[in-house]
Amino acid sequence: MTRRVTLVWLLLLGITFASFVVGVEQGAGVASAAAVVIIGLALCKVRLIGIHFMDIRVAPRPLRLIFEAYVLAVFVTLATLDLVVT
Amino acid sequence: MTATTRREAGAPVAPPGRRIPGEEGIWVFVLGDMTVFALFFATFMYSRGKNPDIFARDHASLNVALGTVNTVLLLTSSLFVVLGVQRVLTGVRRSAPRLFTAALACGLGFVIVKAVEWSHLFGEGKTVGSGEFFSYYFMFTGIHLAHVLIGCVVLSRLIAISRRNELTGHTAMLCEAGGIFWHMVDLLWVVLFALFYLMR
């Protein structure tokens, strides 16, 4: 268990570094695409925290489905607003 | 030494199979709070789409390095909390107070870094009234900071609870519920960090 959550923590740090690089390197012309990538990476982190740290992996199916639906809905909403609203 | 032989007498043991982590009430609160923040996120994205140039300009005033430090602090505190809660649930809780104390130190570190960051911004004349971007920034990170401060109080309680000689199933459940609250604070920051600091 300690090994699993430590690996998840390392993965979270790795994703943070990757999104930092995307954020710093994003060019003006690809800002929207970069934003979608940044949002996607953030929601991946949210899911990892929920599943492994909040222990949703052992939760009853309805709670897990609500959490997974939340992550997906937030990603789709934010990505859509980024790409559509002008 | 195995976990079984180290388990303290009378300590609660997490039941096998599927179960609700913590208790139902904490999930109603956490999911409700997450939904409110989701509306915050969507509002920010909508306004950003309407005023891309202003948001890109004001975004440049934020210190991405300090935001990254705070992200690492909260992620690390969450690791300490999950390890501490696991120690309590399995009855091997001698190191749990130390783990919760380390998590609290990270949480207080977050508050200090945030204070430094806001001081710099105030020094540059940036306040909640300095345009749409900073209105969102100070309101959302301020509400989140209030969550962090409440979380620090919760962690202080977890330290005290986990030091008790006798630990009932109820107090173990309180530890787990407190941990879930702290992870929510971490989870919300992860999205705020992406929206304010990383997206141009």
The domain spans of chain A are 2-84
User: Quick check: B148 and B111 in contact, CB under 8 A?
Assistant: yes
Which residue, among B73, B98, B71, has the nearest Cα to B84 in the 3D structure?
B98
Query: What string of H, E and C letters represents the secondary structure of B127-171?
Result: CCCCCHHHHHHHHHHHHHHHHHHHHHHHHHHHHHHHHCCCCCHHH
Q: Tell me how close the Cα of B167 comes to any Cα of chain A, in angstroms.
A: 21
How far apart are the C-alpha atoms of B50 and A84, rounded to whole Å?
10
Spatial contact of B38 and A77, defined as CB atoms under 8 Å apart? yes
| The residue type at A20 | F
Q: Do A50 and B78 meet the contact criterion of CB atoms below 8 Å apart?
A: no
Contact B41, A78 (CB under 8 A): yes
ipTM score here? 0.94
Model confidence over B77-110: pLDDT tens digits? Answer: 999 999 999 999 888 878 999 999 999 999 999 9
Q: Which of A19, A41, A70 sits opposite B34 (nearest CB)?
A: A70
**What is B24-198's CATH topology?**
Four Helix Bundle (Hemerythrin (Met), subunit A) (1.20.120)
Residues 153-192, chain B, touching A (beta carbon < 8 A) = 176, 179-180, 183-184, 186-187, 190-191
Q: Return averaged pLDDT per consecutive 10 residues of chain B, 200 residues in all.
A: 42 63 93 97 95 91 95 98 93 89 98 97 94 96 98 96 83 93 98 95
